[in-house]
Structure 1
């Protein structure tokens, strides 16, 4: 059972101002000018349908979204119609003049108020028939020149969206969304939506865009995890006058970026506006690229492995079982094309058509260079979900993944990742500890990393972090890592605990991303028997270590994705560390038996130097593209 003191004294300091004496820096955004000519093709009146799956822990954020819609309201040129399914527990706030409710309501959004069209009762928003009927009814009862549908909740990339908690966490798979849209549109004789939006995490993927291309002209979605506030729906005001879909999509994109800047989380965002009418070209280019990779699987796999390890990824976690394994398709293809000349033409074509299809986008310092579409790519087959094989189409990508994993499994024993020494060579310097080791061959290596921890009395190791390391490709055969001999500590002004971190630095962008695994216990969980897995993501300036953004994401095991954590300040949040026993077995453990109060904005972070005399374990590892690993290690005493 978790025990806490009965009193607390928290300083009213924001966490963004506490880590390293923070100076909040603005994120850089990459945006392309959209066509704002209202007389262009498609300009006219709009019906915007919003499907709010708020029967989840994101309910408080979505009620703010509905209020934002009400700041615009329906008008002569714009009808805003919302299906809002509320939860029983997360929020009790009234919205637009309507008292709190549980279940679904169909609403007509007016300026400053909402008209209840129908009380739908205990509706399952994970049922594709419910979505189809909403589309049919919204278009039939609110005819317009243009139609937009925005689906809002947790997103999981190709597995789908949602997770209706009062309906056994039923979610909408990608196939179900496709079926629902086809059914709803066919019922009213409409060929396509003009704009389809996902105000949800991770939905700007090749798989989503390709599958739903027949259902809409434009897709607006994020490659990365979205902060809880989501989009700024006051941007719907752009449709109060005749505009085309690209103009409305770009207005929503700009509104999201501006709101993220106001909330201080602009460094980690993405949002892209994709022309789905150009997805046939992307399909063809990906099929050609995938086929070229399959034909050259064994030869090109080492290049692919290194490229994957260095490519921008989304929904990443220190625990590979909770990683979404989504990677930027444009960056990946470009990197492979540079190193593997025999597939460079196919890679260049794919990059070009992606750039053509992505009409507008925004990124931040931590997501700098995101091209607008991601793709599923687990680094090893053990993390690959067989459900992916049911997707249609996948542009030949699943065939490539099969060939890549087969090539990795066939690496000869003498050509696998292998150090030629059993112990690492360690040296101390003023700035920290260096560890190096010789390896046999760099031909198949994909990446190198270090991890470090404390040596416990029972011989087990309590790991406190992992970081990138480097390996030479010039024939010298040496890998090297560096540890600055500091550990991350988190405090609520009453208690302080150690935390495990995964640290990645993007030298081009000048930022460091820190991921911290945690567990959250609600105030009702007095015995500490149930909890939510949480990932704290912090972005810092790589040079000054000033914090740029920080967000707590809760892991949704049913959907296999993350959404911003809604925490009760009276709850408990506990960092987790990786414990490795003498027999090599690993498990994630809470760092203490009491944790910290989950008043998230006021938690404090600091990097603290290890005390002199601390017994430290340091491990340097290399891994090849087949997932074979080799390590050298050392046990040292901190001077």
Structure 2
């Protein structure tokens, strides 16, 4: 080990056994040996992700502390999710600080009930860990739910308290200052959606490298056995990052989640250059907001997004920064130079990354960009980054509100053209040509007309907008419905379909609800999402993942379901006043034995009455719709 038993004993006595104590500043500071590492992991496992995270802690035990490496974990466990022993320790509830050794762990502190959403707890863990386990290099990895700029966590025994981005910055700054260390070598987030420009910009002063994912992470998270790369002296931070990326990818291949993963190693020392480039870019966009916003809106609608949901209220609204800047530069030539500078600076900042097959174009960092102001979270105004992105969003939404009435998205007063074709049902509508330049996207939505003339919506997907001045939009529905079954019962399910033009892969997102066993009152009902990746021309189903919506953070994390609980597909219901709501399609529910749930697309029966609608939306959020009711031949 890297520290002497006498030193550790003195530190533990100073810290106490009942809390996250602070070692006095006058405590002797042992010298760190060259080339050695201390890895501190902060496992906020007092959540529904506990079963997955306990596997991660066991993976740490495959490596453990050694001559050149200290592995130290603060593990806060929940009640009721997982009762398995970890590293030879019987199940516990509450937090323990562990020194992980090969195949086991030594309990250094039993904290009892601890709020891991308290930034002071994180700061103390960081400071105590560095001082008790001095080394040449330091890494801190936080594990739990992630939501990009809203932060991480959700400690359930502390009212689902989270660590906001501001609290993370404060905790890291306080902990490093208390330990007398300027920066971490590596800051990692084994959590969803944390590879964003906002996170990187805000936390750049705290570490040399950031390791995080743009997309939702599968429950298995990272493979901590990859820490074995640190058992050899002199391992660099980039070699550690590469090993963690490779381990994550290999585990994802083994678990069948590889097509939809991302993980980026970001050089935070390069963030000042990226901040400068983003500031110039946003300045140019703000200055020319009236002329460039239509191009920005079109680009956003086609840019790769992360943490998406058919329900806009539950969408994370994160767009790939590099793709967005590059395409804006192509479509709006008067900001092309500034856009190119962002792309170059971003490329320089990305040291290494992995993207699954469905996310092959991801550039390494995302940025917050709700398409319309209705979905903008006012709390984002408090996020501090150096690129002025929030100011740009304000200017963009302002330009959208100023679109003249005659140039807003609207169809001509004529009926939609609806035709049965070999591939399905097509719908075409003609819009005012004055609105053409402002249009951002079109989509179709379709459903079945019930006996009482109500509509059960079945799905939605993008439609095409003509770019030749002919003034029409059109979409095609293949006249099928998605059905989920547990082998005993079945239910219709709503789905959102997106097809990547480059790869041809189809992503299908299905909104669900989950209830724990014996929940007759609906107290545990939780919004969930099934994400399917399909290769229509080749291998068929490539991956499936069930996610649960975390209301406190406003994001998704992999669903931990009891097989005797219930899954209920949700469909979109539109009230007479136009209000939209999501409701369960069955009062019975399907057994939540997730590996056993099956799904298939079934052709609609002949004579089924189909309702189909075609929407256009401009960059200001103005919409119009044409619709028709037809009967399947």
User: Taking structure 1 as the reference length, what is the TM-score of the superposition?
Assistant: 0.93
Q: Is the 8 A contact 2:142 2:189 kept in 1?
A: yes
| Match for residue 632 of structure 2 among 610, 624, 638 | 638
Matches within 5 A, 1:172-321: 172-242=163-233, 243-321=235-313
| Worse-matched range after superposition: 546-555 or 388-397 | 388-397
Structure 1 stretches lacking a partner, 5+ long: 1-41
Q: Is the 8 A contact 2:34 2:135 kept in 1?
A: no
Count of aligned pairs: 598
| Match for residue 92 of structure 1 among 83, 88, 96 | 83
User: What's the counterpart of residue 590 of structure 1?
Assistant: 584
* CA displacement, residues 538-589 of structure 1 (integer Å, 9 cap, x when unaligned): 0001324701111000000011111000000000000000112344232211
| Worse-matched range after superposition: 359-368 or 223-232 | 359-368
Q: Alignment partner of 1:211: what SS?
A: helix
User: What's the counterpart of residue 352 of structure 1?
Assistant: 344
User: What's the counterpart of residue 138 of structure 1?
Assistant: 129
Q: Alignment partner of 2:221: what SS?
A: coil
User: What's the counterpart of residue 379 of structure 1?
Assistant: 371
For residues 478 and 545 of structure 1, do their structure 2 counterparts lie closer, same or farther at Cα, with a shift above 3 Å needed? farther
User: What's the counterpart of residue 606 of structure 1?
Assistant: 600
Is residue 347 of structure 2 the alignment partner of residue 337 of structure 1? no
| Match for residue 568 of structure 1 among 535, 555, 562 | 562
| Match for residue 511 of structure 1 among 505, 508, 511 | 505
Give the RMSD, CA atoms, in angstroms: 1.1
Is residue 353 of structure 2 the alignment partner of residue 361 of structure 1? yes
Distance 2:202 2:522 in 1: 42
Is residue 476 of structure 2 the alignment partner of residue 476 of structure 1? no
Distance 1:336 1:43 in 2: 47
Q: Is the 8 A contact 2:531 2:545 kept in 1?
A: yes
Distance 2:171 2:576 in 1: 53
Q: Alignment partner of 2:247: what SS?
A: helix
Structure 2 stretches lacking a partner, 5+ long: 1-32
Q: Alignment partner of 1:463: what SS?
A: strand
Distance 2:303 2:536 in 1: 18
User: What's the counterpart of residue 127 of structure 1?
Assistant: 118
* CA displacement, residues 238-265 of structure 1 (integer Å, 9 cap, x when unaligned): 0111201010011001100110010001
Q: Is the 8 A contact 1:43 1:244 kept in 2?
A: no
Q: Is the 8 A contact 2:165 2:199 kept in 1?
A: yes
Q: Alignment partner of 2:162: what SS?
A: strand
Distance 1:372 1:180 in 2: 25
| Match for residue 449 of structure 2 among 439, 450, 455 | 455
Q: Is the 8 A contact 1:269 1:363 kept in 2?
A: yes
Q: Alignment partner of 1:217: what SS?
A: strand
Matches within 5 A, 1:485-564: 485-544=479-538, 546-564=540-558
Deviation at 1:530, TM superposition (A): 3.6
Deviation at 1:518, TM superposition (A): 0.3
Q: Is the 8 A contact 2:227 2:240 kept in 1?
A: yes
Q: Is the 8 A contact 1:577 1:589 kept in 2?
A: yes
Q: Is the 8 A contact 1:81 1:107 kept in 2?
A: yes
Distance 1:380 1:578 in 2: 20
Q: Is the 8 A contact 2:429 2:473 kept in 1?
A: yes
Distance 2:140 2:223 in 1: 15
Distance 1:301 1:134 in 2: 46
Distance 2:421 2:138 in 1: 63
Relative contact order higher in (CA < 8 Å, ≥ 6 apart): 1
Q: Alignment partner of 1:194: what SS?
A: strand
Is residue 619 of structure 2 the alignment partner of residue 625 of structure 1? yes
* CA displacement, residues 4-51 of structure 1 (integer Å, 9 cap, x when unaligned): xxxxxxxxxxxxxxxxxxxxxxxxxxxxxxxxxxxxxx9811000000
